[in-house]
Structure 1
Amino acid sequence: MIEGPATFDDEGGERGIRTLVLACSSEDLELATYKPDFPASIPHITLYDGPPSAVASAALRLLTGFPWGLRLHTTLSVHGSSHEALLRSSATDRGGIVMTTAADALRGSVFLDLGLGDIPIAMLTADQRIAVVEAIARAIHVDGSVSVASAPATSGLTPLTTAPAGQLAFWSPEEVWSITGEGPRHRRADQRKRGSFPTPPELARDVAAAAAKYANLDPSDMVDFGDPAVGNGVLYAAAREAVGGDRINSARVVEIDETTARSTNQRWRRSGISVLTGDFLGVPAEEGAWSLVLANPPYRRSQDISQDLSNLRGQIASRLGIKVTARADLYVYFVLQADAWIRQGGVAAWILPSEFQVTGYGAALRSYLSTKVELLRLHTYDSRDPLFDNALASTCVVILRKNSPSPGNRVMVSTGGTLSAPIRVRDVSTRSLALSPRWSFAALDRTTHPAPDPGVIRLGEIFTFRRGIATGANSYFVLSDSQLEKMDVHRQWVRPLAPRAREVRGGRIGRDIDGNPIPASGRWLIDTPATIDEIRSQSPTFAEYLQRVEAAVGDRYLVARRPSSFKQEPREPAPFLFVYMAKRDGTTPRFLMNESRAIHLNNLIGMYPKESLWERFADMEEVFAALRSIGVAQLELAGRSYGNGLLKLEPRELTELRVAPGKQSGFGVTETRSTRI
């Protein structure tokens, strides 16, 4: 669909505009286009992109006078890049301009009608260029492959936003900044702050196809679609493809960002979509409005939520009887709040971080899914294959039907591959889910659990775990060897830090004659009770550096709460260290034995032996051998998976790992295609 002309620029500029495009819409292209940097953009055909041009401004005014809203009936080929598309087309250099055969034929016809002969395009005057633009526009409007689109269906909802003229009618500020250079080129940091990660089309298709299957629609059934965080509408596009656009009775969706809402309304207005602009968590619920929900709610961590959600937690407790902790991430509220919008028997498919399966704050969501609705499917994608650009959380999909669960209800739990073709599958009873504190695939797969063994010991029985030092500003408080030498830093003012795990061969940190680590980390932590004045008498350069540090970060919370800005929290060297987040492929040793006086920052967890350790182990070497025998299966069972194959274990989760003195304790996995639990 060719919607009409637009520009990125201020149309009132004296020198003219720098960009001129024809804004387009295409339902087919919605599921073939993925622009994570510019999720609110829509397809467009670039007519001009260059220095400010009065001719481009005149062309915009001319083109605005045409009716547009043209439906183009043609076959489009989708390519991976513009270069690939160019190579596979008939485009070639024709008089200094790259054109396809069809474009050159149209040029020849227009030039002949205007009496321009074979004048090279570059030699046309301003008036001639405008005449050519007008002639081509007229030709497009009467072409046999083009028809005038019917007016969009009325939605029955008064729009909450009106698209302004100019650039914001079609693009987000991010895309405008990228084109014009008038701001940051990429705004993924803003996306992370908002917890907004655009859904890749292939994921949207996978989820929509599965949801449509579980919806089990009769031929005459119509769908009332909903999405509480619609974004660019890719899940709506996938739903239309999966169930058929003619079966969408209504689509009432919510989007908090006004620019994105405007763009989504623009691209889907002909389908009758109703885009409500506002915070879904603050919008009054339209009880039972939705029969099919596909949603990727924002992934914003609890510490990044600025609004007070205590009233909402009270409402959820009153309506569902579920207590949500203040530590819950934002997506938990979205799922529970959406329950009121979904009608009885309606199906919802949620794209969620898999963290809720194993975290304490996720208990509210696990309770809802196992006791309040009929859980149909729980699928976790392989964390080594990140689905979202710039998002570390591993992804899962929850599909539910809003019915009370029956006593014998069973759930298909799967992992790896896709919803339609998973790698591993388990058949799990809802009852067992309700009783299980962890829903990760490893935890639900009983074959990963070690057999009872009186000789097996929980690490929590023999170790005390302590997180590493949180300095509040590592870039200021951690110094390199060269900085120590340059600023004449005396060794009594700093402490050596443990080397990075990937630099430690065999997982063993040795020590030199001074007790410093081998291999040397080359990093030193400022840790001294000495005042700046006391240090100045011995090293004026270092004292000056400390003054700059205090001015820069002295008011930060962790720094300000210390008695002295440069005296860190007490921490003894830990005999054993655990790398709390690393890839599960085994390339980085997770357990390290530390024979040095090096201390650890909060990327490591210190393991301090209890007296009971020596009742079961003969020496440190036996302990280290037992720790190193803990396999990936155990780590997966206790930990949390993240994108790029990362696996994280917190101190509390470490306490549940098990070892057996003198035995190999890497509990393995016996793979079966389908197991009933």
Structure 2
Amino acid sequence: MQKVNAYKLPASGEAREHLREKGQFWTPDWVAEAMVDYVLADKDNALFDPAVGAGAFFRAAKRIAGEKGIYVSLSGMDVDPTALEQAIQYGLKKDDLSGVKIGDFVFQPPPTKLPAIVANPPYIRHHRISATIKEQLKHLSLQTIGKILDGRAGLHVYFLIRALTLLSENGRLAFIMPADTCEGKFANDLWFWIAANFTLDVVITFTSEASPFPNVDTNPLIFFIRKAKPKEKFLWVKCDEAQTEMLKMWVRSGFEIIPENGLTVIQRELTEGLNTGLSRPPVIEKPSKYVLGDFAQIVRGVATGANEFFFMTYEQVKQLGIPDSYFVRAIGRTRDVPSEEITQETLDSLQAKGRPTFLLALNGETFENYPEKLKKYLKDGETLGLPQRPLISQRKPWYKTETRTAPPFLFSYLGRRNSRFIRNTARIIPLTSFLCVYPKSNDKEYIGRLWKILNHPATIANLVMIGKSYGDGAVKVEPRSLEKLPIPENVIEQFGMPTQMRLFEDEEIYKIDSVIKRRKT
């Protein structure tokens, strides 16, 4: 069979949306073979794949069995019969798929224990899972690990849980999964259970250049786990060369050979790995004494619930005839800020390009007090069904918008190799693509020095320690996580922070209630 090390994915449109709904991202052969090599070890075995799809692991098993001179029986499950048709197209025979059952692995698992499980489970995120299925998944997690996992756990997490419960004694599992498996809010509960009941042998990470899924918005990891007494240490691997044979060679050696290229292997303490995050490299330096939350407070940008209605271009504002006093200047997306500072020139440039920079900012006063043109616009919004939208329906009245004091700094919420702090000289209001950074002092010297500290390369480098990693080097940082960003002590010393700047040791000057102003109706 010819090797398949890349699959063509739809870039956009209906086909791409269909891909997201099914969560099907096929595993390239160079990765599949290394995973199968681990679960089969060096003996005749029965391989089970709970999400067969295009058959990458079955192809790998046939190739590995031939190389090792062992016998492997193939079985598995999938909910999508059309995916199995692709498996035939990629070189499998109908006999190879005779042990595949069409069904739901999570809710209709095999009745027997399994010695070798390998999978790339469907990457279906929580917001694409129905409420009914979510309730069933809650029951599964409570029954299995003793806790209900946070609702943001995707279907792939439950594939892993179910598969682990089916491992026979000394059985092996190899799963390739998105990094949120060990970065999400649910991760602590999940990995506490895994670490207490199984042996984590290896975690394999990939640089963006070596990703098995280029142009896919996720950062993949491979987990090698055994049903055996837990160990205190595991091997953490960074793969920096796509399609490298070294990965399979290293696995086949029982992790004994020292890779010459393509892989970096580090032995880590399990406790350290779980505390740091399995997707992240080990922390070599001692923890920093300071975090960003000591110097600033973080709030997400404004969520309108309907940007197309509340966020307008200059031309739209003029056509509607709504007075300027009902608007504030705003920016909605990170790509609209190419530099590290937002100035009036930035706004002028965006306006000339026809980008929206005017946010309708209503404080919820009586409808009758508004000018006629604004009242007409709000009535149009009611006709469009805006009051029934999830976020907007929680507001009284529905058109009352969130407000923010213009933050001195912004942080790009999801950056692709360009996560950065931005100085808000123009005093705009950011939407949810940004986080608001409010220093705990109004002092100009404080703000100026904090700005230099925030953009120092050593500070930016620490983002990987607190953010969620996605594809192509993207890092997403939530507000509370950003407050935990370690600030290196040498950076603070470099910019000569005077004692009065360390406000966390004294009384906070800038209180959060002055940041989010809730106007009374």
Fold similarity call, TM over 0.5: yes
Residue from 560, 571, 580 that aligns with 2:393: 560
Give SS of 1:325's match: coil
Question: Does 1:663 pair with 2:494?
Answer: yes
Question: Does 1:209 pair with 2:34?
Answer: yes
For 2:447, the equivalent position in structure 1 comes to: 620
For 1:440, the equivalent position in structure 2 comes to: 279
For 1:524, the equivalent position in structure 2 comes to: 358
Question: Does 1:609 pair with 2:439?
Answer: yes
Q: TM-score, normalised by structure 2?
A: 0.79
Q: CA contact under 8 A between 1:373 and 1:401: conserved in structure 2?
A: yes
Question: Does 1:298 pair with 2:122?
Answer: yes
For 1:412, the equivalent position in structure 2 comes to: 236
Give SS of 2:429's match: coil
Q: CA contact under 8 A between 2:145 and 2:190: conserved in structure 1?
A: no
Query: Match of 2:434, as an amino acid?
Result: L
Question: Does 1:430 pair with 2:270?
Answer: yes
**CA gap 1:490/1:415 in 2 versus in 1, 3 angstroms:** farther
For 1:469, the equivalent position in structure 2 comes to: 302
Unaligned runs of 5+ in 2: 249-260, 497-521
Alignment partners' CA distance in 1, 2:359 and 2:486: 33
Note the 1:455-466 alignment, pairs <5 A.
Answer: 457-466=290-299
**CA gap 1:461/1:489 in 2 versus in 1, 3 angstroms:** same
Alignment partners' CA distance in 2, 1:278 and 1:643: 30
**CA gap 1:301/1:494 in 2 versus in 1, 3 angstroms:** same
Give SS of 2:160's match: helix
Deviates more, 1:312-321 or 1:364-373: 312-321
Provide the alpha-carbon RMSD of the alignment: 3.3
Alignment partners' CA distance in 1, 2:328 and 2:31: 52
Query: Match of 1:440, as an amino acid?
Result: S
Alignment partners' CA distance in 2, 1:523 and 1:350: 45
Q: CA contact under 8 A between 1:503 and 1:519: conserved in structure 2?
A: no
Residue by residue, what CA displacement relative to the aligned partner does 1:17-42 show, whole Å, maximum 9, x if unpaired? xxxxxxxxxxx14737734459xxxx
Alignment partners' CA distance in 1, 2:96 and 2:287: 57
Deviates more, 1:502-511 or 1:574-583: 502-511
Q: CA contact under 8 A between 1:256 and 1:279: conserved in structure 2?
A: yes
Query: Match of 1:525, as an amino acid?
Result: L
For 1:401, the equivalent position in structure 2 comes to: 226
Q: CA contact under 8 A between 1:357 and 1:366: conserved in structure 2?
A: yes
Alignment partners' CA distance in 2, 1:300 and 1:565: 32
Note the 1:5-20 alignment, pairs <5 A.
Answer: none
For 2:17, the equivalent position in structure 1 comes to: 189
For 2:158, the equivalent position in structure 1 comes to: 333
Q: TM-score, normalised by structure 1?
A: 0.62
Question: Does 1:253 pair with 2:70?
Answer: no
Give SS of 1:578's match: strand
Q: CA contact under 8 A between 1:517 and 1:598: conserved in structure 2?
A: no
Query: Match of 1:286, as an amino acid?
Result: P
Alignment partners' CA distance in 1, 2:148 and 2:337: 45
Query: Match of 2:426, as an amino acid?
Result: S
Residue from 621, 629, 633 that aligns with 2:456: 629
Note the 1:461-610 alignment, pairs <5 A.
Answer: 461-498=294-331, 501=334, 504=337, 507-511=340-344, 522-528=356-362, 529=364, 537=372, 539=373, 544-552=376-384, 553-584=386-417, 586=418, 590-610=420-440
Alignment partners' CA distance in 2, 1:374 and 1:557: 43
Residue 428 of structure 1: how far off its partner (Å): 0.9
Q: CA contact under 8 A between 1:332 and 1:362: conserved in structure 2?
A: no
Residue by residue, what CA displacement relative to the aligned partner does 1:213-254 show, whole Å, maximum 9, x if unpaired? 56431xxx3221111111121221122212339845422211
For 1:285, the equivalent position in structure 2 comes to: 110
Deviates more, 1:573-582 or 1:364-373: 364-373
Q: CA contact under 8 A between 1:370 and 1:431: conserved in structure 2?
A: no
Query: Match of 1:654, as an amino acid?
Result: L
**CA gap 1:636/1:520 in 2 versus in 1, 3 angstroms:** same
Alignment partners' CA distance in 2, 1:633 and 1:287: 47
Q: CA contact under 8 A between 1:209 and 1:242: conserved in structure 2?
A: no
Alignment partners' CA distance in 2, 1:234 and 1:495: 53
Residue 630 of structure 1: how far off its partner (Å): 4.8
Alignment partners' CA distance in 2, 1:535 and 1:384: 55
**CA gap 1:396/1:375 in 2 versus in 1, 3 angstroms:** same
Q: CA contact under 8 A between 1:208 and 1:294: conserved in structure 2?
A: no
Deviates more, 1:258-267 or 1:655-664: 258-267
**CA gap 1:604/1:621 in 2 versus in 1, 3 angstroms:** same
Alignment partners' CA distance in 1, 2:210 and 2:317: 41
**CA gap 1:545/1:461 in 2 versus in 1, 3 angstroms:** same
Alignment partners' CA distance in 1, 2:446 and 2:348: 21
Residue from 391, 398, 403 that aligns with 2:216: 391
Q: CA contact under 8 A between 1:573 and 1:599: conserved in structure 2?
A: yes
**CA gap 1:369/1:633 in 2 versus in 1, 3 angstroms:** farther
For 1:237, the equivalent position in structure 2 comes to: 59
Residue by residue, what CA displacement relative to the aligned partner does 1:526-550 show, whole Å, maximum 9, x if unpaired? 222467765563x3xx655443333
Question: Does 1:641 pair with 2:469?
Answer: yes
Alignment partners' CA distance in 2, 1:362 and 1:394: 16
Q: CA contact under 8 A between 1:370 and 1:433: conserved in structure 2?
A: no
Give SS of 2:116's match: strand
Q: CA contact under 8 A between 1:317 and 1:323: conserved in structure 2?
A: yes
Residue 189 of structure 1: how far off its partner (Å): 0.5
Larger radius of gyration: 1
Residue 430 of structure 1: how far off its partner (Å): 2.8
Alignment partners' CA distance in 1, 2:213 and 2:304: 31
Alignment partners' CA distance in 2, 1:636 and 1:433: 14
Residue 406 of structure 1: how far off its partner (Å): 3.6
**CA gap 1:629/1:32 in 2 versus in 1, 3 angstroms:** closer
Residue 559 of structure 1: how far off its partner (Å): 1.7
Give SS of 2:431's match: coil
Residue 645 of structure 1: how far off its partner (Å): 1.7
Residue 484 of structure 1: how far off its partner (Å): 1.6
Q: CA contact under 8 A between 2:51 and 2:78: conserved in structure 1?
A: yes
Q: CA contact under 8 A between 2:203 and 2:278: conserved in structure 1?
A: no
Q: CA contact under 8 A between 2:214 and 2:472: conserved in structure 1?
A: no
Residue 333 of structure 1: how far off its partner (Å): 0.8
For 1:73, the equivalent position in structure 2 comes to: none
Alignment partners' CA distance in 2, 1:350 and 1:193: 20
Relative contact order higher in (CA < 8 Å, ≥ 6 apart):
2
Alignment partners' CA distance in 2, 1:625 and 1:225: 55
**CA gap 1:348/1:505 in 2 versus in 1, 3 angstroms:** closer
Identity across the alignment (%): 25
Give SS of 1:441's match: coil
Query: Match of 2:450, as an amino acid?
Result: V
Note the 1:38-49 alignment, pairs <5 A.
Answer: none
For 1:362, the equivalent position in structure 2 comes to: 187
